[in-house]
């Protein structure tokens, strides 16, 4: 074969690739599509279609327990994502804006430890630590749940912020330093505005992870501290109704919007 007619290998040209890809997408997203459809079911069955209705969205909206769980979820996710983003920003600056030093890979691995360790192991470890603190102090407020979510969300905020810093040109910061700007002013006027898209993207990702978390919340929360996902889990244990489908659809919509914004910000280069 002539050199000019040589074709690069592409997995898309493999026999059956299209069929396998379509089957994979159907298996992944088919159940989600069915859940969304039956969230608009007029009847009480989750398997029998009885007509289109917004009944279950209205029912969920008027449910006091759903309102309390939603409000609590937003408080926990907002506080945890803010805390995780601040910590992740400092960690990203400390691991990218310094000269290479021994142990940097170990520090990087420790920051991303929640991503490598099974979530239930992290949940059990946090449960033990917080249980000791609760016994010693007698306090069992929401701060423990926020701290647990923040600890778990740090690497999710850290990775996009670090990626943004690694893609930034150091010339602007160097020029500001050459013009006798103090380090804090360089950070506030140059570094922070340039890394802002990464910070916002990391905060959004941390917020979504915290909002959707079940395992850590189930282990760490005290009585009366149900978030929206754990409330839904409790409902599923008792009885499955289209109200759960409606709540899941609303939660899915929020997650999709935030993740879309995250990917848009994460790809922004200017």
Residue 6 is inside which H or E element, if any? none
The pLDDT tens digits for 93-104 are: 888 877 777 777
pTM for the model: 0.81
Whether residue 70 is predicted with pLDDT greater than 60 in this model: the reply is yes
Which residue ranges make up each domain of the chain?
63-267
Residue 267: per-residue pLDDT:
66
Measured between alpha carbons, how far is 176 from 179 in angstroms, rounded to an integer?
5
Q: Find the distance separating the first CA and the last CA of the chain, reported in whole Å.
A: 44
CATH class belonging to 63-267: mainly alpha
Q: Please give the average per-residue pLDDT across 3-31, as a whole number.
A: 77
The pLDDT tens digits for 121-180 are: 999 999 999 999 989 988 888 999 999 999 999 999 999 899 888 888 777 788 887 777
Q: What long-range pairs does 111-117 form, CB within 8 A, spacing at least 24?
A: 111/154, 111/155, 111/158, 112/155, 112/158, 112/159, 113/155, 114/151, 114/152, 114/154, 114/155, 115/155, 115/156
The pLDDT tens digits for 158-170 are: 998 998 888 887 7
Measured between alpha carbons, how far is 242 from 35 in angstroms, rounded to an integer?
9
The pLDDT tens digits for 27-68 are: 888 888 888 888 888 888 777 788 888 888 888 888 888 889
Query: What does R_g of the chain's alpha carbons equal in angstroms?
Result: 23
**The tokens of 147 are what?**
């701290």
């Amino acid at each position: 074969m002539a050199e000019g007619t040589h074709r690069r290998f592409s997995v898309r040209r493999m026999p059956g690739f299209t069929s396998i890809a379509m089957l994979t997408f159907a298996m992944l997203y088919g159940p989600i599509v069915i859940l969304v459809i039956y969230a608009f079911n007029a009847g009480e069955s989750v398997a029998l279609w009885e007509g289109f209705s917004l009944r279950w969205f209205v029912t969920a909206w008027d449910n006091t327990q759903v309102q309390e769980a939603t409000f609590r979820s937003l408080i926990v996710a907002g506080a945890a994502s803010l805390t995780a983003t601040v910590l992740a920003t400092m960690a990203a600056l400390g691991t990218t804006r310094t000269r290479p030093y021994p142990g940097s890979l170990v520090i990087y691995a420790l920051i991303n430890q929640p991503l490598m360790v099974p979530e239930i192991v992290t949940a059990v470890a946090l449960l033990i630590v917080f249980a000791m603190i609760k016994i010693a102090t007698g306090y069992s407020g929401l701060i423990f749940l926020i701290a647990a979510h923040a600890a778990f969300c740090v690497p999710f905020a850290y990775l996009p912020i670090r990626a943004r810093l690694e893609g930034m040109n150091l010339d602007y910061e160097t020029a500001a330093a050459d013009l006798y700007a103090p380090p804090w002013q360089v950070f506030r006027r140059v570094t922070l505005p340039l890394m802002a898209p990464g910070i916002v993207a990391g905060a959004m990702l941390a917020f979504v992870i915290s909002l959707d978390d079940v395992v850590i919340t189930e282990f760490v929360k005290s009585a009366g501290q149900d978030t929206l996902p754990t409330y839904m889990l409790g409902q599923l244990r008792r009885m499955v109704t289209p109200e759960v489908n409606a709540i899941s659809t609303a939660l899915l919509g929020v997650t999709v919007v935030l993740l879309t914004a995250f990917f848009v910000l994460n790809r922004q280069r200017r």
